[in-house]
Structure 1
Amino acid sequence: MEEVETEKDTFLLIDLNLDNLAVCIDHSGRSFILDGRYLKSINRWYNKRRAKLKSIKDKERIEEESQRMYRLRKKRENLIHDYFNKAVAGLVDYCIKNKIEEVIVGEGKGWKQNIDIGDQNNQNFVQIPFDKFKQKLKHKLEEKGIEFELQNEAYTSKCSFLDDENIEHQEEYQGSRVERGLFQSSDGTQINADITGACNIAKKHIGKPNTELFKGSEDGVEIVVDTPKRIGKPEYSG
């Protein structure tokens, strides 16, 4: 594969989670969200159908996976595989068009499994193969000569990006998550809570204060207050 042209100090930060499969923000402060509700709907459909088939299997005292259960599992895997491929292709295309040098992906190993997001959400989260998504993305990016890096995201969702709060445990945090998925800074400014976390992951990886993170933006740090574009299907415009 031919490597593509990139520009120095350009990046795309990607934070993966359940409702928003990929929360993305680049070096200019431009942000967008790839909706993850389609994946959740696949799991709801799969879990409902599998429970019914398992009940039939148990009544018939069959120990092995039935053919119908196997076909159901493969169909679910294929649907997720197809969605991931389209999402990865769109993200790689975005990087090529914007000459992105480095893609940073938040690594939530451990902490996301420990937070209380309810039994149903935990079931959804475990079943969506985020590691496979990262592997696909890494492979496609490296084919193009674009760097792929993982960044531990501990405390990034709790600290206030607008206040330039140090990303570490605090006895008292300067901001807090409020209703409707918003994060409120110490002066009352509210921004998308997932964007706060994503910005802090970028800040943690790059090692610069918030005022120096989005140098390509005329609005500086305030650009993150803008509502990110939400994408329901993995289709992007550069």
Structure 2
Amino acid sequence: MLINRVLTIRISGKERKEKVKNLLLDLAHFKNLLILLLRRYKELYGYYPTDQSILYGLIKEGEYSSKKEEKLKSFREVKENILKDEELKRFLNALKEQKKKTDNNYILQQVIRDVVKSFKSYRKAYKEYLKNPKKFKGTPRPPKPKKLKYLMNFSVELNVNTFERLEDSILIKLRINNKEFLKVKLPKEFTFEVKSLRLKLFGTDVYADVVYKVELPEVEKTGKHVAGIDLGLNNLITLLSTNKDLKSLIVSGKEIKAFNQWFNKEKSKLQSEIDTLTNKLSQTEDREKAENIKKTLAEKLIKLKELSSYRKRKIDNDFHKISRKVVDVLKATDHKKLYIGKGATESKDGVNLGKKNNQHFVSIPFRRLIELIKYKAEELGIKVFEIEEPFTSKTSPFADIFEVREAGKEYLKAKEKGNRELLKELLVKLKGLTQAVRRCRGVLKDKVLDKIFNADCVGAYNIVRVGESSLRLIEDLKLLFVKLCNPIKFKLTDFLYKVSCESLCGGIAGSSSLLGRVESFDYQLCGNLTTS
């Protein structure tokens, strides 16, 4: 089976970075001008002229030619309308100048294609909004230009005309007539065919994403067990499996949370200094003082972008390592399915969790972690499913989770209607159905059995129950109690750096590689739990 993969290469060297960064900023400016032209045209004539060939025809040298009479007619109409308005004429002339400055028609065509796609997506979303406004948080808005001074993220796709594959590297044509090139070295033994390239700016960093196709060998899907993962802040990953030899596993998220808190403080401090300098600049009449303030302000803005780049690299690096180790453990212990609760990603979605929790949840990219686990697991023959997780951490592992979820839906509907009497009745019903109460942070007490469990382990178990549509997955009660009460807890640094993949997977060489095959497992996570 052939699948697309992306190799991200960070471009180093001051001159090399500047060349790519300047090109991307020129392209971003071109994109801004095109968006402004389309928005102004809509104001005057009531529609967006989003035909790609017409837009490119407006800025290219020479006459516009097309075999279709309708397109020629549309082009003439758009051009005449632009020439009638001074502001539209100014935008068109600026686009032509920017085209010359960019000096790469192949990339410009891709930028035009991206802008057209954005406007079409907006129109589609707006039509859907008119039919069903409840699906949206607010009215969809058309694309708008971004200030280049604060531009943090910009990327552009390159086609085969803009790069050439050499033996151990890729030669990228940045500016055609000026003969400006960039040579990107590939890793050793990279024998895959390169399909496309993407140049990407994030903060002060510049990347080249190499898109290539790789053939995955068929993996025997012989797994017997299923596992569930509950994502959170303090406990980043809580994993519970139906495999009797694999204990419940918790990977701490406190290190990422602390790093995120440090980042937010540093960002807030820099932003405050930038705001102070901006106010001083607006009040300063002395030219020499104004120049000094501008210089300091530019330095602070660069530092802010560098900080964001560093954060992205660190979290991405940690998530890659976490996902690889989790997937290798599951493969080694004979799993066929993995269910992941997606409540952590949905908690960002307009839910007010309080000032501190909102800050942590919004800044930690749980969606990225899920996607990394998903593609790595599927490559090793483990199917991954995302599960809605309302009430999974609040319901006893011995209660009927499906009844609880149905009652929860009724409760939410009643809450929308504002029926207070019905809400009270449903709340009492929910409390009875869950058969559990939260005693303190991370602890859940079963009111019927009078037993105390780890709330995150209960959440992971209930996620598996929902995914498998089964009320009882582990018949051995003693084994289930051990799994719900005694998880092994790892600090993130220990999980990533002190626990080697070889020790987790019984010393199998190559188990940490992308397509590594794991056949045995011998580690402290395993043991005869029924006798522990």
Normalised to the residue count of structure 2, the TM-score between the two structures is 0.41
In the alignment, the residues of structure 1 paired with residue 218 and residue 320 of structure 2 have an alpha-carbon distance, to the nearest angstrom, of: 20
Aligned with residue 2 of structure 1, among 203, 217, 232: 217
Q: Does 1:104 align with 2:104?
A: no
Q: Deviations over 1:177-224 (max 9, x none)?
A: 1124210002210010111111111111101122xx125x68353333
In the alignment, the residues of structure 1 paired with residue 462 and residue 404 of structure 2 have an alpha-carbon distance, to the nearest angstrom, of: 7
Answer whether contact 2:224 2:334 (CA < 8 A) is retained: no
- 1:146 CA drift (Å): 1.6
Q: Which residue of 2 aligns with 1:14?
A: 229
Q: Structure 1 residues 200 and 218 mapped into 2: Cα distance closer, same or farther (>3 Å)?
A: closer
Q: Which residue of 2 aligns with 1:82?
A: 317
Q: Structure 1 residues 189 and 113 mapped into 2: Cα distance closer, same or farther (>3 Å)?
A: farther
Amino acid at match of 2:342: E
Amino acid at match of 2:260: N
Aligned with residue 178 of structure 1, among 421, 424, 439: 439
The structure, 1 or 2, with the larger RCO (C-alpha pairs under 8 Å, 6+ apart) is 1
Answer whether contact 1:101 1:147 (CA < 8 A) is retained: yes
Q: Which residue of 2 aligns with 1:162?
A: 398
Q: Which residue of 2 aligns with 1:207?
A: 469
Moved more, 64-73 or 150-159: 64-73
- 1:28 CA drift (Å): 2.2
**SS in structure 1 opposite 2:236?**
strand
Q: Which residue of 2 aligns with 1:28?
A: 243
Q: Does 1:66 align with 2:327?
A: no
Aligned with residue 450 of structure 2, among 188, 195, 201: 188
Moved more, 118-127 or 6-15: 6-15
Which is higher, the Rg of structure 1 or of structure 2? 2
Moved more, 129-138 or 20-29: 20-29
Normalised to the residue count of structure 1, the TM-score between the two structures is 0.88
In the alignment, the residues of structure 2 paired with residue 158 and residue 230 of structure 1 have an alpha-carbon distance, to the nearest angstrom, of: 21
In the alignment, the residues of structure 2 paired with residue 81 and residue 75 of structure 1 have an alpha-carbon distance, to the nearest angstrom, of: 10
- 1:158 CA drift (Å): 1.9
Q: Deviations over 1:25-55 (max 9, x none)?
A: 0112531111101110111110111111111
Answer whether contact 1:175 1:183 (CA < 8 A) is retained: yes
Q: Structure 1 residues 87 and 67 mapped into 2: Cα distance closer, same or farther (>3 Å)?
A: same
Q: Which runs of 5+ in 2 are unaligned?
A: 1-215, 279-296, 409-428, 505-520, 522-532
Amino acid at match of 1:229: I
- 1:17 CA drift (Å): 1.0
Q: Provide the aligned C-alpha RMSD in A.
A: 2.4
In the alignment, the residues of structure 1 paired with residue 233 and residue 225 of structure 2 have an alpha-carbon distance, to the nearest angstrom, of: 27
Q: Which residue of 1 aligns with 2:415?
A: none
**SS in structure 2 opposite 1:160?**
coil
- 1:112 CA drift (Å): 6.7
In the alignment, the residues of structure 1 paired with residue 460 and residue 266 of structure 2 have an alpha-carbon distance, to the nearest angstrom, of: 35
Q: Structure 1 residues 171 and 26 mapped into 2: Cα distance closer, same or farther (>3 Å)?
A: closer
- 1:113 CA drift (Å): 5.4
In the alignment, the residues of structure 1 paired with residue 252 and residue 482 of structure 2 have an alpha-carbon distance, to the nearest angstrom, of: 21
Q: Does 1:92 align with 2:353?
A: no
- 1:90 CA drift (Å): 0.5
Answer whether contact 2:230 2:341 (CA < 8 A) is retained: yes
Amino acid at match of 1:19: N
**SS in structure 2 opposite 1:101?**
strand
In the alignment, the residues of structure 2 paired with residue 67 and residue 18 of structure 1 have an alpha-carbon distance, to the nearest angstrom, of: 30
Aligned with residue 481 of structure 2, among 219, 222, 236: 222
Q: Does 1:136 align with 2:372?
A: yes
Answer whether contact 1:10 1:101 (CA < 8 A) is retained: yes
**SS in structure 2 opposite 1:84?**
helix
Moved more, 59-68 or 85-94: 59-68
Q: Does 1:51 align with 2:268?
A: yes
Query: Percent identity at matched positions?
Result: 28
- 1:153 CA drift (Å): 0.7
In the alignment, the residues of structure 1 paired with residue 300 and residue 334 of structure 2 have an alpha-carbon distance, to the nearest angstrom, of: 47
In the alignment, the residues of structure 2 paired with residue 189 and residue 114 of structure 1 have an alpha-carbon distance, to the nearest angstrom, of: 35
In the alignment, the residues of structure 1 paired with residue 328 and residue 461 of structure 2 have an alpha-carbon distance, to the nearest angstrom, of: 22
Amino acid at match of 1:224: K
Aligned with residue 387 of structure 2, among 151, 159, 167: 151
Answer whether contact 1:84 1:133 (CA < 8 A) is retained: yes
Report how many residues are paired.
235
